[in-house]
Amino acid sequence: MSTFQLGRYALSTSQPQVMGILNVTPDSFSDGGQLLAGSAVSRGALLRRAEAMVQAGASILDIGGESTRPGAEPVSAQQELDRVVPAVEMIAAELDVAVSVDSSTPAVIRAAAAAGCDLINDVRALQRAGALSAAAESGLPVCLMHMQGQPGSMQQAPSYDDVVSEVAAFLRQRVSVCEAAGIERQRLLLDPGFGFGKTLQHNLQLLNRLGQLRQLGLPLLIGVSRKSMVGAVTGRSLEQRLVGSVAAAQMALQQGAWILRVHDVDATMDMVRLCRAVWSEGDDVDG
Ligand code: 9MG
């Protein structure tokens, strides 16, 4: 069995893995309970949501303190630290699950590593000043994601000649930069960044040809859960995108994606179990 070392955990690369999304922004958790240090997030509510995701089958939880949605307001490094670090400490101590931190901020990367996180998930692919050395020094694996532009303006006029080859070229170049900075290839995961500086057509082309990114030779993480591409195709509101999100995730798995970053762990795990059951019959030909 081949594995990828995600901090404290060696995860099988021959089995799809599900990463649950845990946003620790003030609007996400407000049940009036005891708050995480320096943040507006309730400790109990966060732990309950995290536990439910682990129970449902998530092997990784991705903790984020800054929204990267198009047009979202940036937060200060201190706000991000206040939100993310206590959450990482608590989940790493209380639950048997790999902890990922969704951040581009060097101070957050360092503090999260010290607090026990297992993966850095950077939508800016370590391009922010100081992020590359912070990640290199952490010794942790990193997910490098493609984004054209910045969250505030990335959906204004995304443009590519060929989105798949341009995303591939960008990711290849970031892998070289990481290797030169001392982050070994075997610590890297790649993500095409659905919805990040891409039109609906770009997103659909990327999903249709996702298998081409396997040629980069590194495991793929993808996030399509509840994204606008699912809404645009199905005509569904944010809360009604479960079926479309699971279908899109299945198409990604079928083309070799390894980690699915999702809001709905339960439903995604049903799909993953079905895929595993079908694929496990693939090798035997007994008439
Ligand atoms: C933080 N975040 C939001 N969407 C994402 C995606 O598609 N991939 C990764 N790696 N991170 C994401």
CATH number at residue 101: 3.20.20.20
pLDDT, tens digit, 9 for 90 and up, residues 257-272: 999 999 999 999 999 9
Q: Is residue 284 part of a domain?
A: no
Q: Is residue 218 part of a domain?
A: yes
Q: Is residue 286 part of a domain?
A: no
Residue nearest to atom 4 of ligand 1 (CA): 223
Range of the domain at 91: 3-279
The structure's pTM equals: 0.95
Q: Which of 214, 227, 236, 276 is catalytic?
A: 227
Would residue 261 show up in a list of annotated catalytic residues for this protein?
Answer: yes
pLDDT for 287 beyond 50 = no
Q: Is residue 122 part of a domain?
A: yes
User: Which of 115-129, 230-244, 272-286 is predicted with the least confidence, judged by mean pLDDT?
Assistant: 272-286
Would residue 185 show up in a list of annotated catalytic residues for this protein?
Answer: no
For residue 70, what are its two tokens?
């198009």
User: Which of 68-82, 225-239, 260-274 is predicted with the least confidence, judged by mean pLDDT?
Assistant: 68-82
Q: What is the mean pLDDT of residues 40-49?
A: 85
Count of structural domains within the chain: 1
Q: Is residue 129 part of a domain?
A: yes
Q: Is residue 285 part of a domain?
A: no
Q: Is residue 117 part of a domain?
A: yes
Q: Is residue 70 part of a domain?
A: yes
